[in-house]
Structure 1
Amino acid sequence: MNGQAVAVSGSRLSVKDLTTTGMMIAIILLMSFTPLGYLRTAGLEVSLITIPVAIGAMIIGPKAGLLLGTVFGLTSFYQCFGMSPFGAALLGINPFLTFIVCVPTRALVGWLTGVIFKGIEKLDAHKMACYFIGGFIAALLNTLLFMGALILFFWNTEYIQSINASIGDLSIFAFVLTFVGVNGLLEMPATCIVGGAVSKTLKKVLYKRIRSN
């Protein structure tokens, strides 16, 4: 009887995980193809799609984060085909490297957020601050990994150098700070506050029975 109970409990968790992951994928797709997902600026697009990626990574785990991050990355790459002027410019320079900048970086964001959150959650006795810290980390990783890949693969291109020239021929470090300054100021608080609050609530509601067993 006990073995059956454990099996049932495990199957329920798997179903809840699958349902929640599917819900997060649907949200990512909705945000990707509506104005909900991006705030367009003169430079990079401010992406809010990191929020559902962070939520899934925190309430389900690194594997879900990896899947959600990959979906985010694929939709980001799709944006390069005419929906994002910046992405279209990169695609015109090198499609393969543009794919690398868009997809693996976002996949890593989801996976690393889940891994790091697990460690933070163990240190948070009241299980409150960890969700907001996890949300902030997801946005920070998204900025660092995307910009790191962009600089690594496209820094010496005429397109990026023309942007740099228009803002004063800055060093790489200064360019990154200037280029993503506004984006980071919007993305990080949004993912921290919204992602943290939603993750905490969903974890409590969806997994209350399992956590009490």
Structure 2
Amino acid sequence: MDNMTMLGRKTKEESAGLSSKTRYMVETALMIAIVLIMGNTVLGTIPTPFLKVSIVTVPVALAAMLIGPTAGVICGIVFGFNSFVGALTGASGMLSTLFTISPTGVFFTAVVARFLDAALVSFLFRVLHRGKLKQASYYICGALMPLFNTVFFMSSLCLFFYNTDYVQGLVSKYNATNPFAFVIAMVGVQATVEAVIGCLLAGTLGVVLSKVLKRG
């Protein structure tokens, strides 16, 4: 093989590598933009007669499933920081109130909880997707993303703020006898609805887009 042929092949390989990296960055940036748009507009919620269901975890799940675990974690962190900024600006009623009690606690509740959620679901998707549940993994992780979001968020909330006057007022409102009963009473139904919607929405989009984009 002459030098010109080798040089041509190397150039094509380098171009393909650059294209892949560029595509990864563009797709990740796009999902970050969607997370921010949904997190700051009505597009991030589905209003119902009884609940305001959040679907901001859907683009986080799609990033993890279609782009990769790092993209999923990045989108999860962006989701968390957006909530944290909402606490700083007063846009988030409960977190804004709790911020006056413990900024550190709010940071863990808003940011770290979302990081853990995205990291865990990204890992589980990779494991499930390599096994016999390849197609089902989209639906499973689509449901787990909002479910774990609630679990980590409420766990952090109880860890840092359960004994505060603000949360104890909510405990009394829901007539809860312990932290677990409080979480179930406050967000049990909403978490279930969000998990079902996440399963159907993120799962279906994940399957369809994976075929359109020819992702494994």
**TM-score using structure 1 length:** 0.87
- Report the secondary structure of 1:76's partner residue: helix
Shift of 1:5: 5.1
Map 1:1-213 → 2, pairs under 5 A: 6-38=13-45, 46-80=53-87, 81-124=89-132, 127-207=134-214
Find the aligned partners of 1:65 and 1:115 in 2 and give their Cα distance: 10
**Could you list the per-position Cα deviations for residues 123-152 of structure 1 after superposition, in whole angstroms to 9, with x for gaps in the alignment?**
136x32110011111112111111111111
Alignment coverage as a number of residue pairs? 206
State the identity %. Answer: 37
| 8 Å contact from structure 2 (residues 81, 110) kept in 1 | yes
Shift of 1:119: 0.3
- Report the secondary structure of 1:93's partner residue: coil
User: Larger relative CO (CA 8 A, sep 6+): 1 or 2?
Assistant: 1
- Report the secondary structure of 1:186's partner residue: helix
Amino acid at match of 2:119: W
**Could you list the per-position Cα deviations for residues 12-52 of structure 1 after superposition, in whole angstroms to 9, with x for gaps in the alignment?**
332222121111111111111111224689xx974311110
Find the aligned partners of 2:148 and 2:123 in 1 and give their Cα distance: 12
**Could you list the per-position Cα deviations for residues 59-80 of structure 1 after superposition, in whole angstroms to 9, with x for gaps in the alignment?**
1221111110010001111222
Task: Mark the structure with the bigger radius of gyration.
Answer: 2
Amino acid at match of 2:54: S
**TM-score using structure 2 length:** 0.86
| 8 Å contact from structure 1 (residues 65, 110) kept in 2 | yes
| 8 Å contact from structure 2 (residues 174, 186) kept in 1 | no
| 8 Å contact from structure 2 (residues 53, 193) kept in 1 | yes
| 8 Å contact from structure 1 (residues 57, 64) kept in 2 | yes
| 8 Å contact from structure 1 (residues 72, 106) kept in 2 | yes
Q: Structure 1's 40 and 154: CA in aligned 2 closer, same or farther, altered over 3 A?
A: farther
- Report the secondary structure of 1:192's partner residue: helix
Find the aligned partners of 1:6 and 1:196 in 2 and give their Cα distance: 34
Find the aligned partners of 2:197 and 2:17 in 1 and give their Cα distance: 33
| 8 Å contact from structure 2 (residues 31, 59) kept in 1 | yes
Q: Structure 1's 46 and 89: CA in aligned 2 closer, same or farther, altered over 3 A?
A: farther
Which is worse superposed, 156-165 or 86-95?
86-95
| 8 Å contact from structure 2 (residues 146, 194) kept in 1 | yes
In structure 1, runs of 5+ residues without a counterpart are none
Amino acid at match of 1:56: A
Find the aligned partners of 1:48 and 1:112 in 2 and give their Cα distance: 18
Amino acid at match of 1:162: G
